[in-house]
Amino acid sequence: MAEQAEHVANIPSTMRAWQVTTPGPIDGPTAPIEMVTKPVPQPGVGETLVRVLTCGVCHTDLHVSEGDLPVHQAHVTPGHEIVGEVVANGPATTRFKLGERIGIPWLRWTCGVCRYCRSGRENLCPYSKYTGWDHDGGYAEYVTVPEGFAYRIPERLDSVTAAPLLCAGIIGYRAFERANVPAGGRLGLYGFGGSAHITAHIAIAQGIEVHVFTRGKDAQKFGLKLGAASAQGAYDKSPVKLDSAIMFAPVGDMVPNELANLAKGGTLALAGIHLSDIPALNYQYHIFHEKNLTSVESNTRRDGETFLTLADRLNIHPATTPYALDHADEALRVVKHGDIKGACVLRVGND
């Protein structure tokens, strides 16, 4: 006999959701995303249905909406920093109880059997699937997730605060690990949106000296308020040579200056999924002296669990700006233009 799905009584049949209809500039004449009414999805085998409480607005959502990352599913719903309440479990789904608060991140599925998955590097799985790109995400009232790829949300984090931790936080954490920051070392952060400011929190809480590079004057002030040692323009010379740097802006033109600002043996980690072309580099000036240049691709579930535990322990509390679900397009425009005090978060349902 097949196992029956379990669910709470009052799940509606339709919901409001944004979808990417005509990818293009978010501030252009034709809106790339539109709000529609569509059926509430059904959880499949091993999947949980979640009533969305909040969903963070990430730069990647902008890339998907604007077509820098061509959609993997026509009319996909963006959003992959989702906090919600479990309202139904599909067949053979037992991990979470109804009513439990869980988080749904960018990484939606990996194969589990390829050489990357088997060596603890599922972030490099060639068959991986992503929330809000391959499958509908959280700019909607309901969403499904394979239960093995969701996270429990620590009790003391409210749902607005927790949302940006699920991508901005986790990816920032992986980038921080990839940047090999020595104990008590100097770290440069290029671009200062959601991911960078959470990473600054984590670094400063561990005694690392942080230097912020961003064009936004408000973002510079915000960095200093968080405890950064300096804040300056995106292309400025660093006041000190840096052991490590993380680039959060999708601007390849910034890379030569970032490499020039590194100390000997330093590491630059490029955290974005998309980057415009990097100009020609001068070997002597940018790469010699054993400088390391690396990228960061997604994250493993272990990164996510480690980061959420650390965020709880260090009481990481990202600054957020809430938006109604109806204003997701406006939030994306704010993300595009960069000068924000912390992360934009859509409030979708009530806690």
Query: Between residue 227 and residue 256, which ones bind Zn ion under the rule CB under 5 A?
Result: none
Nearer Cβ to Zn ion, position 60 or 159?
60
What is the spatial distance between Cα 22 and Cα 320, in angstroms, rounded to a whole number?
Answer: 28
Binding Zn ion (rule: CB under 5 A), the pick from 117, 162, 249, 348 is: 117
Residues 287 and 260: their CA atoms lie apart, in Å, by 8
Amino acid at 43: P
What CA–CA distance (Å, rounded) separates 32 from 329? 9
| 331 forms part of the interface with Zn ion (CB under 5 A) | no
Judged by CB, which is closer to Zn ion: 40, or 160?
A: 160
Q: How far is CA 7 from CA 3, 44, 87, 94, in A?
A: 13, 13, 6, 12
Smallest distance, Å, CB 279 to Zn ion?
26
Of 64 and 102, nearer to Zn ion (C-beta) is 64
Token readout for 222 is 């915000």
Shortest Å distance, C-beta 76 to Zn ion: 14
Q: Is residue 111 a contact point for Zn ion (CB under 5 A)?
A: yes
Q: How far is the CB of 110 from Zn ion (least distance, A)?
A: 5
Minimum Å distance from CB 3 to Zn ion?
Answer: 27
Least distance from Zn ion to the Cβ atom of residue 117, Å: 3
Q: Is 167 in the site for Zn ion (CB under 5 A)?
A: yes
Long-range CB contacts for residues 231-234, cutoff 8 Å, separation at least 24: 231/192, 234/190, 234/191
Binders of Zn ion in range 33-72 (CB under 5 A): 58, 60
C-beta pairs of 201-206 under 8 Å, 24+ apart in sequence: 201/226, 201/314, 201/316, 201/317, 201/318, 202/172, 202/173, 202/176, 202/310, 202/311, 202/314, 202/316, 203/176, 204/228, 205/314, 205/316
Among candidate residues 1, 129, 6, the one with its CA nearest the CA of residue 71: 129
Considering only residues 52, 125, 293, 328, which one is a binding residue for Zn ion as defined by CB under 5 A? Answer: 125
Site string for Zn ion, 279-318 (x = CB under 5 A): ----------------------------------------
Q: How many residues line the site for Zn ion (CB under 5 A)?
A: 8
131 binds Zn ion (CB under 5 A): no
Binding to Zn ion by residue 114, rule CB under 5 A? yes
For the record, the structure tokens of 334 come out as 């704010």
- In the complex with Zn ion, the residue whose CB is nearer, 60 or 267, is 60
| Cβ(25)–Cβ(66) below 8 Å | yes
Binding residues (CB under 5 A) for Zn ion: these are 58, 60, 110-111, 114, 117, 125, 167
